[in-house]
Chains A and B, each alone.
Chain A
Amino acid sequence: MGPKYKILLVEDKESLRTVYAEYLRMEGFVVDEAKDGQEALDKAMAQKYDLVLLDVMLPKVDGLEVLKSLKSNPQTKDTKVYMLTVLGRDTVIKEGFDIGADGYLIKDKITPPMIKEEILQALSPKAS
């Protein structure tokens, strides 16, 4: 396992968030959790993360709004953001890329190890 990457996991469905977080921690990542858009913004402003896993449909502040805020703030604009979505929300993915998302993961298509792979790939020095 390489450097201890700091991940902010934003997902409102608790059981899903718990499984992702549990697995990523077991794999050596440092994981903070946020259950809505507001909490995500608060946490992302309070400290620096290597990557944000961001659900799109979120209570309080919508995922795309969070993405917009993160990418327009000099303090957070370099943080990689991967959108978490389910299949069929195709226009959302396009919108996300337009705002500046670095990638996306389709939750119903992936398993936890695939998330790990994507994170490692996104954060490997040659990827940027």
Chain B
Amino acid sequence: MDHNYPMQPPLDPRKILSELYVKNLELYRERSRIHEIIQQVAEVVFAVDQDYKITLFNKTAEAVFNFSQEKAAGMSADRVVKLSRDEVFFSVKEYAFKKEATLNEINKKSITAIDRLGRKFYYRLNFAHTLMETGEKECVITLTNITNEVEEDKRKDEFIFVTGHELKTPVTIIKNNLWMFRYLFAGKETLTPRQKELLNNTSEELIHLNKLTTDLLDLSRIAQNRLVLNVRDCNIDQVLKDIGDSFSQMANKQGLKFSVSKGQFGMVKADKERIYEVFENLLSNAFKYTEKGYIKIGIARQKSHLKILIVDSGAGIERKDYPKIFTKFGRGSEGLKVHENGASTGLGLYVTKNLVEQMGGKIGFTSEKGKGTEFWFTLKRT
């Protein structure tokens, strides 16, 4: 007997047709469902093809850009999608289909759109690429409305600014009163050593309080893009002398060798108040992290700039902490540890970087764990 294979059922064209019909209907439903989801999500969703023509445009996009889907479809994206970044027109064409690294950078920044009524909205941008089986590429762009978060952030910055500003007045008054108190007592042996000690401690804490307040104010200014410096010709020799005078006392107290590069370096472009802040921030860091050895200020003349180096023989910075050094609240891996030389907010270097850059200079560092750190910054010579 022949080997029996199970018989294939005869092909019934009508059955195939009806199955196809059902499958097609399912696919259609599924497609509609996805389409509807994309249409209804709160995010703005649209897509462009390789010619930057719009292929997808959801309901939220319609409302934001004041264009109907029917009208937008097939149009060049830049004619439909009106977005700005830092007050400048943001071209989708310029960024669609870029490398991932570029896109990651763009995706971080916020984008604004103005609606029909002139209201400003903030969005977080996300570019994503899809590669079809046919080899065609599409770029899908989503915009998440972050207006509430941005505005909340702005209110917070404004609050920090106002608080910092209000703190400045009493701090200034106390500082001046203390100064006057010493001035009036100068040369008179009316204070006991203990009374003097109390007075000195009060002054030192006040300096610290003033510094924290300044950092807070600067931070809020940077966040609001409102840090304006008065960059003028500034005598760096005078600054170096003042800084040298005020920090040599601290060096004595901590038993550290402290030196400032000798020589005349002349005029640089700087803000006469903020340049002190830059030195104070870098030096107070050096003093905080150096237990023994030295701290020195070196100066190198460059073609158009003066390079200032603050070198210490301190703890050094761990390699893994490098990227965090100049970021907001980035203070290496030690968290909110309190130093014997005072706590800090970790804002100093972030502020310092912003100050130096606004004066037209650059800032950086090199470090070796356990051996020491060298911070440097440049200022334009005049």
Contact = CB atoms under 8 A, between A and B. Distances in A.
Contact of B183 (A13, A16, A23, A107): A23
A112 B176 contact: yes
A16 B173 contact: yes
Interface stretch (B41-49, B222-230, B250-258): B222-230
A106 interface: yes
Majority secondary structure, B binding face: helix
A106 B168 CA distance: 11
A127 to B, nearest CB: 14
B210 to A, nearest CB: 6
B173 A88 contact: no
B180 A108 contact: no
Contacts, number: 67
B177 A19 contact: yes
Interface in A16-44: 16, 19-20, 22-23
A97 B164 CA distance: 24
Interface residues of A, number: 23
Interface string A90-106: 11011001000000101
A126 interface: no
A88 B227 CA distance: 7
Most buried by A among B173, B176, B213, B273: B176
Interface residues of B, number: 28
Nearest to A105: B273
B273 to A, nearest CB: 5
A24 B220 CA distance: 34
Given A15-B173, A108-B214, A88 B179 contact: no
B71 interface: no
A16 B165 contact: no
Interface of B: 161, 164-165, 168-169, 171-173, 175-177, 179-180, 183, 210, 213-214, 217-218, 220-221, 226-230, 273, 276
